[in-house]
Chains A and B, each alone.
Chain A
Amino acid sequence: QVQLVQSGAEVKKPGSSVKVSCKAAGGTFSTYSLGWVRQAPGQGLEWVGRITPFVGLTKYAEKFQGRVTITADKSTGTAYMELTSLRSQDTAVYYCASYDSNGYLDYWGQGILVTVSS
């Protein structure tokens, strides 16, 4: 069973950047990918992107291309998601989640609330 522990809540100004983390308990990633999904207050789920740590391959939703970067540190089992040029619409809970062998998101972190406000 994979346990994912995410960093704490963030409050940012419009136009700034945020970098949040997601650590796999035990310090090692599974063989598969890790994804990021966000949820605006009272809204549904939106896929942001994914990384396959062992090969360093990333894919991003077109909506976030150019503003998001997902990285992973295999030595510590920690993944990061950086979002730049923040606007109020980016206020959301950001979840990391691991992909299982079937390509679905089976284990999720607890979520990080990112608030963008002047």
Chain B
Amino acid sequence: ETLLTQSPATLSLSPGERATLSCRASQSINTYLAWYQQKPGQAPRLLIYDTSNRATGIPARFSGSGSGTDFTLTISSLEPEDFAVYYCQQRNNWPLTFGPGTKVDIK
């Protein structure tokens, strides 16, 4: 099973600041990585797929990069609605696995 680790566990930032979230895989996953956003009491929402492609309706301030084992989600300028938990997920190796999440909260 491919383990995903995310850092930091919590990121405390102010609106307007840049957020950089990291996801590391225990083995190569090529570029088959997605990012999801989850707000309290809601289902996850797909943000980014295949490392760097934004899902339908996702604002351009969200971007992804990386390959192999190291990946990054960047939110260029945090909006109030972006404070949430972010999960990475790989589909290169069976079974599909998720990272433990990074919480982005308001400083």
Contacts and interface: CB of A to CB of B under 8 A. Distances in A.
Interface residues of A, number: 21
Interface residues of B, number: 24
B46 A95 contact: no
**Which one of B43, B45, B53 has the greatest number of beta carbons of chain A within 10 Å?**
B43
Interface in B56-84: 56
A92 to B, nearest CB: 13
B88 to A, nearest CB: 10
Contact of A102 (B1, B50, B101): B50
B52 interface: no
Interface stretch (A23-31, A68-76, A83-91, A105-113): A105-113
11 contacts: A44-B101, A47-B95, A47-B96, A47-B98, A95-B43, A97-B44, A102-B50, A105-B34, A105-B44, A106-B55, A108-B45
Interface of B: 1, 32, 34, 36, 43-46, 49-50, 53, 55-56, 87, 89, 91, 94-101
